[in-house]
Chain A
């Protein structure tokens, strides 16, 4: 497991909330985040969302979008088409509330074990893969957006 200090600074507070937490407390916090999920604004993307923005093998039908901001950072957004996809919405809200607008390097530095720290080590393989896929696709598009920024 990555040490908390290896996490981007903007994520450390939320990651610390999940240290040594019981399952009830974990669920309460995640559901609270899930309730604050905000879908991608229509000026960024509209249905039907493009397939190349879809998180493969995510059972919650999540999509990831990015755009450069004026400060040289990355704004990013999610759509979660499965109305029952509360875990995907919780992860999206945590990432957005913590890292929105950060530099691509910061987003790309999200440690691989974030899903297990947030959702617990006993999360199923399929669920873990879907949520990890959201993080991986966010990193991919952050990198792509950064390269486009540099080439302009």
Chain B
């Protein structure tokens, strides 16, 4: 399938493109998953794994790694500033988009998502291996992490609420409505309160993908966000979910497939908002 019609077609590659670049030294394939066992069960030959918990997060503060740690991570995997990094993973590329988003905080713009993710590669019966590759260490110079353009913090979200600016809640309708299960001894979603941020519109992330896991075509995405829900590229939009991974998926769609210039991902998301004292909540 051609990527024509998407705002930034270079940010999306298909499985065949990846198959043709398995041995390309200018390309590094990166698997990022929700399920930490998947990579060990078999992965695209030559792909390295970047885990959002252990690799991308600071291990003390709730925050991302800093510039030095990012440089070390890139060096460890032989990624240079010019390497094209292609992300793929499970769950329709949630964590792939999340990792892509973190890479953008450090300005690694030569990056793409493999359309359809891990499942599409597997269903096409393309090769998998358990062999973990090792690449010679690289030299990598990262910019200081720049949060202001694509990342939103709680107080900024509160300002968005007060200013009646657009928010997109990409969780499931049940999570948006704040429906709770009453089963005893049952884990909730890690938040003391349920519901959504006032004024947020519910557009589950899954509406942006086709049954085969690939992203919807440009006209269908425009219909979803613009005709059906009234959003426009000129708006200052914040996306959120529970911990920021599903909303990174929608952030990618709006920013790279539709070309919206001002979209931020609120990675604190519901686990922060639903536990914060005194913030407004709607059900």
Known: A56-B181, A56-B186, A122-B54. A85 touches B35 (CB 8 A): yes
Does B185 have its Cβ within 8 Å of any Cβ on chain A? yes
Interface centre among A28, A84, A126 (most CB of B within 10 A): A84
Interface residues on chain A, number (Cβ under 8 Å): 30
User: Which residues on A sit within 8 Å (CB–CB) of B53?
Assistant: 122-124
* Contact yes or no, A84 B190, CB < 8 A: no
Chain A residue at smallest Cβ distance from B180:
A56
Stretch at the interface among B36-44, B63-71, B139-147, B149-157: B36-44
Minimum distance in angstroms from B191 CB to a CB of chain A: 11
User: Which residues on B sit within 8 Å (CB–CB) of A60?
Assistant: 35
- B interface footprint on A23-51 (CB within 8 Å = 1, 0 otherwise): 01001101100100000000000000000
Does B118 have its Cβ within 8 Å of any Cβ on chain A? yes
Main secondary structure of the interface of B (DSSP, over half): loop
Interface residues on chain B, number (Cβ under 8 Å): 27
In the complex the two chains form, what is the Cα distance from A59 to B34 in whole Å?
9
Stretch at the interface among A6-14, A96-104, A129-137: A129-137
Interface residues of B in 173-203 (CB under 8 A from A): 181, 183-187, 189-190
- B interface footprint on A61-88 (CB within 8 Å = 1, 0 otherwise): 0000000000000000000000111110
* Contact yes or no, B184 A140, CB < 8 A: yes
Chain A residue at smallest Cβ distance from B34:
A59
* Contact yes or no, A140 B187, CB < 8 A: no
User: Which residues on B sit within 8 Å (CB–CB) of A133?
Assistant: 186-187
* Contact yes or no, B186 A140, CB < 8 A: yes
Known: A59-B91, A124-B52, A136-B187. A31 touches B34 (CB 8 A): no
* Contact yes or no, B35 A129, CB < 8 A: no
Known: A57-B189, A139-B185. A31 touches B40 (CB 8 A): yes
User: Which residues on A sit within 8 Å (CB–CB) of B118?
Assistant: 84
* Contact yes or no, B41 A86, CB < 8 A: yes
User: Which residues on A sit within 8 Å (CB–CB) of B33?
Assistant: 84
In the complex the two chains form, what is the Cα distance from A59 to B92 in whole Å?
12
Chain B residues with a Cβ under 8 A of chain A: 33-38, 40-41, 52-54, 90-91, 118-119, 122, 181, 183-187, 189-190, 242-243, 271
